[in-house]
Every structure is written in C-alpha cells, then in structure tokens.
Amino acid sequence: MSKRRVSYFYDPDVGSYTYGLGHPMKPHRILMAHELISSYPPHLLLSHPSLTHLRPPRASAQRMTAFHTDEYVHFLSRVTPETMDELTGRGTQFLVGDDNPAFEGVWEFCTISAGGSIAAAKRINEGSSDIAINWAGGLHHAKKREASGFCYINDIVLAILDLLRVFPRVLYVDIDCHHGDGVEEAFYTTDRVMTCSFHKYGEYFPGTGTQEDRGRGKGRGYALNVPLKDGMSDETFKSVFDPVLERILAVFRPAAIILQCGADSLSGDKLGCFNLTMQGHAHCTSFLRKFDIPLILLGGGGYTVKNVARAWCYETACALGVQHELVPMGEEGGMMPWNEYFEWFGPRYRLEVVKNNMEDVNLRIADPHDSEDTPDNLSPRIPIPRDTGRTWKQTEIDRVRERALQQIKELEGRIGAPSVQMMDVPRESVAEHVGFFSRNRQAEEREMEWQDELDAKLAQHSRYVYHLQSQGGGSTSRRPQPQQSPHLTSTSSATRKRMSLITNMVFEIPLCYGRVGQCGRRRYSDDGFTWWDA
C-alpha cells in the first residue's frame, strides 16, 4: 500500500482520570491502546518512518468557546464533585442525569481530548500530515451548552471548525454504535459539512438518527443517517458502508474527512449490540485511506476496554498500511507481544476481536407494508443489484441502503465548485474597515438580537425535532406552547426528556423557571425560542 504521513497524538496523562467506580466509560483504555501500540517492534508502529509521535498542547477555554457557550465552558472549568449540585441547579442544566458525573479532573480531561483533535486538524491544515490520529477524541454527543452520553466537550466540532478555515468541504463519518447527534446538530444548517452516521436505532441512546433527519435550510440533505439493527456483521456492514461512502465521495467531493472510530460497535461490547470483528471495524479506515484524502481518525465509545485497545492498535497499523504485519492475511488474529497489560488480553493473548453467534436482524425480510413513502421521498427509487433468475425479497438492510443512496442522489447538481463555496459577503464596508465610521449602536444591538434569536431557534430545533423536550408533563407536541411569564416562579410540571446511555431509560427533568439561584443566570421559556436573564 502507498505510504501516508501519519501524526499520532497522545498525552500520557489521559489514562489517569476516572468517571467513577462502576461507570462504564474508562479513559484508561486509551493508555492501554498506547501501551499495546508501543509494544510492537519500533519499525512497525511508533517508530515507523512515516509516523510522527506528538504530545498535543491542551485546549484553552477560548478555543472551546468556538462552539460551546461561555457559560458552559466556565462551568466546566470550575465544577467539582462538591460543587456540582449547586452549579447545575440541582441537576437541571449542564450535567443532566448520571451519565456525566463531575469527576475530579474533568476540566483537564476535556482539555486533553479537545487539544488532541485541534492539533490533528492543525497538522492537516498545514499539510504536515496526510492522516492524524487522536484516540482520546471522538466525543460526539456533547452539545453546545450541555454534556451528554459521557461527552463534555465536542472535540469533533472544534476540529471541523478549524478544518473549514482551509478546506471548502468536510465529511464526517461516524461508525460508533450510537448516533453522532452532537456533531449532526452543530452542522445541521450548513452545506459545507456533511455528516454520515452508521448507528443502532430503536429504543437506544440517544433516540435520534432516523433517515428522515436530513438537515435544515442550506444543510438540507447534508445530514445522512444509516439506522441499523442488532447483530450487524462484517459482511452486512460492508454491504452498506462501501456503496454509501463511494457515492458520498463522488457527489459531495470532500476536501478532508474525519472518521470517528467508536469501538462500541465491536462484537462483545458491554453497551453495544453489533457483531463486528476487529477487521470489519478497521475496514472503514482502510477504505477511506485508499482515496488519498486528508483524514483524521478519532476515538469515541467502547466499553470492553481490552477490545478497544486491540481495535485502535490495529487501526493505527491500518493508517500506516502495515496491518498485515500484525495480523497475517486471511487470519482472524495475530500473536500479541508482551506489554504492560498483557494479562488483560487473556486467555488467547491475540490481537483479535472475533464475532459471536448473534443473529443479524438486518437480514430479516422487510415488511412490504411498512412503507416510508412520505412526501419527502416520493421520487423514483434507485434500483439495487439483484440476482436474476431467482425470487428476490428485500431485507431490512436493503431498504436502508436504497433509501440512503436515493438521498445522496438528490444532492447531485447542488454542490458548486470549491471556489464558489468559499466565497463570502464582506461583513463590513471599506470605510468601516479603515475606520472612517462605525455602525451605530442601534444597528449593533439589532444584530445581537438577531444572533440571539437564531441561537434560540436552534435550541428549539434540537428539543422538538429530536424529541428531547415534552410540554406540560410529557406531551410530545412540536408546536410551541404559550410563553409563561418569566417573572413568576413556576410550579408547573413541564419537563424535558433525556435518555441515559447506561440504562437506555428515558427520564424527565424540570424546565428552568424562577428567579436567580434556581437554574443559573440564563433561562429558556418553554417554547424554546426566548430566554431572559434573571
């Protein structure tokens, strides 16, 4: 395979943090992966001539506010287990539920994770690397002003924002078992970023990611979701991943790609429900590598830590093109060298994640009466290859693949040349730029009001479109309700819904009402559109 310049980012402090006793998220898995990578002969991985091993600088609070709100970043920088109850308004903002505890060192952990992804984007922007790796990143659930699904800071969004400074179009691919909702929401209204998520859907965290979630406004069609079912095998996954990505690369023509390699889609994961082997998971890395497009590899989920370490070690080898020296061609695994955590990989002590005997529900025959012919998809369907001469019945995965290819086809002709994509209307006149005069205060205030209104509408969108909020004690209506007076302390039963990644149970928390000290400085009304400062 052709050579690629690879940058590998690792901070040795990342494995020192813990979410707490019994919590499934283990930052220690990143240390295990690094120790396994380091244990191979130097010429294969860490000392390979094409690999540069770097310790990334930690992200500053200012860099994080490129996406997250100032209030949320300030909160993370000072929250501790002792002050969590007070700073979160008794669990009604910032850290909701038990998935995201305020553990000791949470801020430092966030700076390490985000710093690695930002540094990876910088190497790609400078042209110093063809592939950049940060296994401490990939925390794709974090929202603009709230932690979610074990994720506090969305390092992926920060990396994409940096890539957009140089590249006209960026493709984000997510193979985590859970939907990449945080990244999708962040770029839901733009056509410069296309998000493509392959995930389990159906009473599963975060409860989003249907094929009808396609973007909004200019971003309509640039959010692609491929919902899957339990037992996804290597062959089935490849049958949908390869044709979908080939069409995206041909139609969208990205200048850079980010691949989130969440390892909870591996067979035997504690919170996952797929049946992918190590080679089936790493196929995505090898597939995208061959197109010679700048590529960033990030971590993500993965809760059977020994399998996470195996997969990310093997995918580091895939980035270098030396995977067959670790696992010979045609074999399921290779002998593992001694390392600091050798006993964790027993009883076989091999670099392998093998499939089990789960049923692949994706291969069940689709119900012909379960049609998705909504007004949005009445256009002619793309025929998929079928074996002639025998009866053919459409399976669940056939239906999903066909729908995804049709959605990509609808983008053809809508994407302009890169030079057109990068053009922008000047934000100030020449006279303003040289200092002859400035806009009056009234105009600036109007602009700020417009920005606040847009921010509120995006908040409303995430709550109603993604079914994250209920009105009046559980109603799922998307129609805004009459606004309650912000000056009155409410005892209303209005709540918003959240799903737990650990239990997949839906729980409710009260909306923020009342005066200073109850839910923080800024509060939203229950229509999701307006806020007031207490």
The reported pLDDT for the residue numbered 472 is 34
In a 3-state reduction of DSSP, which class is residue 254? coil
Task: Give the model's pLDDT for residue 494.
Answer: 63
Can you tell me whether residue 470 is helix, strand or coil? strand
How many whole angstroms separate alpha carbon 94 and alpha carbon 76? 9
Phi and psi angles of residue 522, each rounded to the nearest 5 degrees, phi first: -115, 135
- The pLDDT confidence band at residue 434, using thresholds 50, 70 and 90, is low
User: Mind listing the pLDDT tens digit for each residue in 5-24?
Assistant: 999 999 999 999 999 999 99
Q: Tell me: the pLDDT tens digits for 454-499?
A: 565 555 555 544 444 333 333 333 333 333 333 333 333 467 778 8
For tokens 């006149």, name the residue. 429
What whole-number distance in Å separates Cα of residue 465 and Cα of residue 457? 11
pLDDT of residue 525: 37
Does 422 have pLDDT greater than 60? no
Q: Which of 244, 195, 260, 253 is nearest to 224 (CA)?
A: 195
Q: Does pTM surpass 0.95?
A: no
- Counting Cα atoms < 13 Å in the Cβ hemisphere of 1 gives 18
Output b/e per residue, 493-519; b: 16+ Cβ within 10 A.
ebbbbbbbbbeeeeeebbbbbbeeeeb
Mean pLDDT on 225-232? 97
Annotation marks residue 369 as catalytic: no
Question: C-alpha angle with apex 223: 220 to 228, nearest 5 degrees?
Answer: 135
pLDDT confidence of 188, banded at 50, 70, 90? very high
CA distance 153 to 352: 31
pLDDT digits (tens, 9 = 90+) for 250-267: 999 999 999 999 999 999
Mean confidence (pLDDT) of the chain: 83
| Three-state secondary structure call for residue 15 | helix
Q: Which residue has the higher pLDDT, 525 or 333?
A: 333
**Alpha-carbon distances of 14 from 56, 60, 95, 127, 153, rounded to whole Å:** 11, 16, 21, 27, 15
Pick the catalytic residue from 141, 179, 199, 281: 141
Work out the pLDDT band at 516, boundaries 50, 70, 90: very low
| Mean pLDDT, range 273-301, rounded to an integer | 97
pLDDT digits (tens, 9 = 90+) for 366-394: 877 665 444 444 444 444 454 444 456 88
Would you state the pLDDT for residue 528?
36
Q: How many CB atoms lie within 10 A of CB 7?
A: 23
Q: What is the pLDDT of residues 303-350, one digit of tens each?
A: 999 999 999 999 999 999 999 999 999 888 999 999 999 999 999 999
Closest of 309, 238, 409 to residue 28, by C-alpha: 309
